[in-house]
A and B are shown apart, each in its own frame.
Chain A
Amino acid sequence: MKRREDFVTKKLALLIDEDLCWGCDACELACKQENHLSEGSRWIQVRTKGVQRVNGKLKLVYSPARCLQCSHPPCQEVCPVDAITQRPDGIVLIDYNGCIGCKKCIEACPFGVMQFNQEKGVAEKCHLCYHRIDQGLKPACVDVCIGRCIYFGEMTELVNRYGERRWLSGRNGNEKRTSL
């Protein structure tokens, strides 16, 4: 069997610079509109621990949580009906016709970003707006962002352009906060 790393030839990703996220929730609403999400299903969600004291200083960080399109998706491994697949560009897709709503994938996701659509009884999550990117557009959350902190593209390219800088320095404090 072909190893998955070989299968995924070009991994597409959203890179979000959390230092620059204002926590305005625009990405979440853009996503809901684009993907016609029902109440309760939040494919990208701006999370925060609130104001924290870090080394004697107050900090407030917003973290937009969404599917990271894992290289080895734990959700895919646990799906009993093989309804979760991965495209060669890395996008992890759920086949809503195949999904039986067992929620195993939701439990398996280490980032807690899989959603459950109550109306349809299926698991859902961010798929990088593949219908848009297949037409040469960016995912809906990208351009709406006033912090301009959501980057979309091929992962190694993004890391070269934005990732290292943040990972090495960290704008405020020394944490590595940029998430892939």
Chain B
Amino acid sequence: MKGLAGQDERILRSHCRICHGGCGVLVYVKEGRVVKIEGDPQCPISRGTLCPKGIASLQLVYHPDRLLYPLKRKGPKGGGQWERISWEEAYDLLVSKINEYKNGYGAESIVLGYGTGRDNEAFIYRFANLLGTPNVLTAGHMCYGPRVSTSIITCGNLPVCDYEGNPKCIMVWGNNAIISNPDEYKGLYLSDALAKGAKLIVVDPRFTKLADRSDLWLQLRPGTDVALALGMLHVIMEEELYDKEFVSNWIYGWNEFVDRVKEYPPWRVSEITWVPEEKIREAARLFAKAKPACIQWGVAIEQSINCVDNNRSLIALAAVTGNLDVPGGMVFYVPPPVMNASQFGLHQLLPPEQRKKRLGREVFKLADAFAIINPRFVWEAILYEKPYPVKMVFLISSNPVMTRANASMVYEALKKVAFLVVSDFFLTPTAEMADLVLPSATWLEMDYVAEIWKRHGFALARQKVIQVGECKSDHEMLLELGNRLGQKEHWWPTLREALNAILAPSGLTFEAFLEIGHLQGKMEYRKYLKKGFSTPTRKVELYSTRMKEWGYDPLPKFREPPESPISRPDLVKDYPYILITGMRPTAFFHSEHRQIPWLRELLPEPLVEIHPETAEKEGIKEGDWVVIESPRGRCYQRAKLTLGIDPRVIGAQHAWWFPEKEAPEHGWKESNINLLTDNDPSTCDPAMGATNLRVLMCRVSPKKE
């Protein structure tokens, strides 16, 4: 093995999970302590590289503020007073509360929840389904879930850039894949593909390093992605740049789709998107003519009222240019021979009468079909007990006070809910309001068959390297709790046996799996030639039969963002700028890591990007604290003046709290951009319920002391 093992040092191989995970690592352990974390050169995903967060896991595990044992609230809710209890007491309390609410109000009154998830999704869904609650509160309505669900109804599976197949052109759409995890593959693959000479188109309202490296940068008006994609499709049709054979054999609803696209001529799209007509044409030609080509997409386009149609129009771009499931295009990876997260989740065991009680299911039908809910309905069920009361919220790796829209409402709801349990690493602003806090294990403290929810073709071996305090992995905790709640027949006595069951189709035990390090499905391209696409019509449904069934527009279209200078001219006087909230720093993963010294040093304070002209107009200087205000609230971030943003747009960071500031608030109201966002269902994607976090109206001014 690479590396320099010191005296008495052991090197263990595992897979990082400081973000959405998947990078192979070598962990150096000395006398039961992790002393170093390095990239594993043998890992096919990260090939020896590792990001700052992965390395800083060292400071996460041994952080002095880490939760080391279960805590029970003492004194008033949110009063910052805690009593240490044993795991035995914690389990007893959980069992009694769960039974109390299940018997008194129905299992649906108990909401399970996770944020972006710490690879615990499969266990959480299994637990919830066995408990009989249809309510699992995730980020799935606005992050990754839409990509998966939209892809499944449109082309049967999630298409992913096949970097190893040497794409000639990569279109990066609202995704800074280099510094934030693009879920299936890491930025390394994109970087390598560019080094090999792939052309690059970047669609982003901000000038990122990717934009700097690009052949074409399309700086669009935030929230108009679907119009831009349909405009490019218009050019592709007009100039007959599409793959005629693929279109005639494999597209369902081509004529209807063409009619829809005709509504988006480049001149009109240019007016909508601010992108010059010639650039739209140029991008369309470059993408359509380079074969193979792929689209690297991400969460940015999903946190929008146009969520599903953004995804559908990008799938359409890949499909009509003949880039689906071909080498170097957008492919459907073949899963490895293990149980996947969805199978493990036992969705079929949720009783149909309970499924019918899923919050918001009548409103957001695509989300419901994928067991996903919109958070607003949970907050309302707590606050107004409609359509029924939610009594218990059990959050496992989630900090919604920082990361969900309308933070004030989230805070009120969590303050009111009868019993709040939080499993996490630290007392976050959310955990501070809990009745019971569980100390969660980090990736260095758990065994798992990792990343089996991703559609990247891998299962990765994560191994427990150390034990810290009394911390337990969420998997182990849920397995134990499930057993105690009478779900025994569907669980295993030990986590090790559960992992062996996940691995059973491969014939491996967990021990043997650790030796190998990972399993990969054997890739096959153009699988549709044999069996078509996994959709009702066996074709790529650019006209979606499922969407039609649910009563939605079967074709993608552009909706003006609910709060923009065009949809709300009445607000322009008071809120003259468009606010975007997606700027991702390299140091943090959503609300995490601000207490880690090495990472905080990289970015000590929240930054808001402002064009110098705008700053001058508003009397703001570089480094000033700025008040950012929307019609709903305000927060403060430091001004970073940059030419890389349109003068009409303000770019803020999200999820900022200050662990070092006084408990229990930890300054959660100071820089929290979600005090400005809206979660009204009418502003969400009509089918998926994706929250519009990304496009608001705002004003900015220097903060007065």
Interface string of B376-419 (1 = CB under 8 A from A): 00000000000000000000000000000000000000000000
The stretch that binds A, out of B139-147, B230-238, B596-604, is B596-604
Asked if B586 and A143 sit within 8 Å, CB to CB, the answer is: no
B28–chain A nearest beta-carbon distance, Å? 10
Q: Which residues of the other chain, B, contact A52 by a CB distance below 8 angstroms? A: 643
Q: How far is the CA of A172 from the CA of B38 in the complex (A)?
A: 32
Is A102 an interface residue, CB under 8 A from the partner?
A: no
Complex partner residue of B50 from A26, A51, A53, CB under 8 angstroms: A26
Stretch at the interface among A27-35, A81-89, A151-159: A27-35
Of B55, B178, B642, B643, the contact of A33 (CB 8 Å cutoff): B55
Q: How far is the CA of A20 from the CA of B210 in the complex (A)?
A: 10
Number of A-B residue pairs, CB cutoff 8 Å, is 103
User: Closest Cβ of chain B: how far from A12's Cβ, in Å?
Assistant: 17
Whether B207 lies near A51 (C-beta < 8 A) is yes
B4 at the interface (CB under 8 A from A): yes
Cross-chain contact A25 with B52 (CB below 8 angstroms): yes
Q: Which residues of B contact A42 (CB under 8 A)?
A: 601
Chain A residues near B597 (CB-CB < 8 A): 39
Interface status of B282 (Cβ within 8 A of chain A): no
Alpha-carbon distance A29/B36, docked complex (angstroms): 11
Establish whether residues A26 and B52, one from each chain, have CB atoms under 8 Å apart when the complex forms. Answer: yes
A22 near B178 with CB under 8 A, answer yes
The CA of A148 and the CA of B193, in the complex, are separated in Å by 12
Q: Is B51 an interface residue (CB 8 A)?
A: yes
- Which of the 9-residue segments B129-137, B153-161, B183-191 touches chain A? B183-191
**Across the interface, do B601 and A137 meet the contact criterion of CB distance under 8 Å?**
no
Q: Does A145 contact B (CB under 8 A)?
A: yes
Q: Hey, what's the 0/1 contact readout for A6-35 against B, CB within 8 Å counting as 1?
A: 000000000000001011111011101110
- Identify which of residues 121-180 in chain A touch chain B, using a CB-to-CB cut-off of 8 Å: 132, 135, 137, 143-148, 172
Tell whether, in the assembled complex, residue A60 and residue B39 are in contact, meaning their CB atoms are under 8 Å apart: no
Q: How far is the CA of A132 from the CA of B640 in the complex (A)?
A: 38
A1 sits at the interface (CB 8 A): no
- B187 contacts A22, C-beta separation under 8 Å: yes
Give complex CA distance A147, B192 in Å: 8
Q: Are B207 and A60 interface neighbours, CB within 8 A?
A: yes
Residues of A within 8 Å of B642, CB to CB, are: 50-51
Q: What residue of chain A has the Cβ atom nearest to residue B217's Cβ? A: A58
Chain A interface extent, by class: 20 to 34
Contact residues in A for B55 (Cβ distance below 8 Å): 26, 29-30, 32-33, 144
B56, CB-defined interface residue at 8 Å: yes
Whether B644 and A58, one on each chain, are in contact in the complex, defined by CB atoms closer than 8 angstroms, is yes
Known: A24-B52, A24-B179, A32-B598. A58 touches B643 (CB 8 A): yes
A52 and B211 CA atoms in complex are apart in Å by 13
In the bound assembly, the distance between CA atoms of A172 and B49 in angstroms comes to 25
Q: Nearest CB to that of A137 among chain B residues? A: B4
Report the minimum CB–CB distance from A165 to chain B (whole Å): 14
Is A33 a contact of B37 with CB atoms below 8 Å?
yes
B51 is contacted by which of A23, A26, A34, A39 (Cβ under 8 Å)? Answer: A26
**Residue ID in chain A nearest B219 by CB atoms:** A58
Check if A24 sits within 8 Å of B586, measured CB to CB: yes
Q: Report A51-71 CB contacts with B as 1/0, cut-off 8 Å.
A: 111000011111000000000
Q: What's the minimum C-beta distance from A128 to chain B, rounded to whole angstroms?
A: 14
In whole angstroms, how far apart are the Cα atoms of A29 and B4 in the complex?
18
Chain B contacts with A in 19-41, Cβ cutoff 8 A: 36-39, 41
Among A42, A146, A147, find the residue whose CB has the most chain B CB atoms closer than 10 A. A146
User: In the complex, A135 Cα to B5 Cα: how many Å?
Assistant: 11
Asked whether A29 lies within 8 Å of B41 as measured between CB atoms, the reply is no
Among the listed B178, B211, B213, which residue makes an inter-chain contact with A146, where contact means beta carbons less than 8 Å apart?
B178
Query: How many whole Å from B535's CB to the nearest CB in chain A?
Result: 36
Residues of B within 8 A of A144 (CB): 38-39, 48-50, 55
Residue in A closest to B194 when the chains form the complex, CB atoms: A20
Q: Which residues of A contact B272 (CB under 8 A)?
A: none
| Docked pose: A26 CA to B37 CA in angstroms | 12
A25 to B48, CA, bound (A): 16
> Which residues of A are found within 8 Å of B680, using beta-carbon distances?
none
- Give the residue among A29, A39, A59 with the most B Cβ atoms within 10 A: A29
Distance of B654 from chain A, by nearest CB (Å): 19
Do A143 and B212 touch (CB < 8 A)?
Answer: no
Tell me whether B208 is interfacial, beta carbon within 8 Å: yes
Query: Which residues of A lie under 8 Å from residue B641 when comparing CB positions?
Result: 50
Of the listed residues B49, B179, B195, the one surrounded by the most CB atoms of chain A closer than 10 A to its CB is B49
A26-B51, A60-B211, A137-B4 are known; give 15 further A-B pairs, CB within 8 A. Answer: A22-B191, A24-B179, A28-B52, A30-B55, A32-B598, A33-B36, A33-B55, A50-B642, A58-B207, A58-B644, A59-B212, A137-B2, A144-B38, A146-B187, A148-B191
6 A-B pairs closest in CB distance: A51-B644, A29-B52, A29-B55, A60-B212, A146-B188, A51-B643
Please report B residues at the A interface, Cβ cutoff 8 Å: 2-4, 36-39, 41, 48-52, 55-56, 58, 178-179, 186-188, 191-192, 195, 207-209, 211-213, 586-587, 597-599, 601-602, 640-644
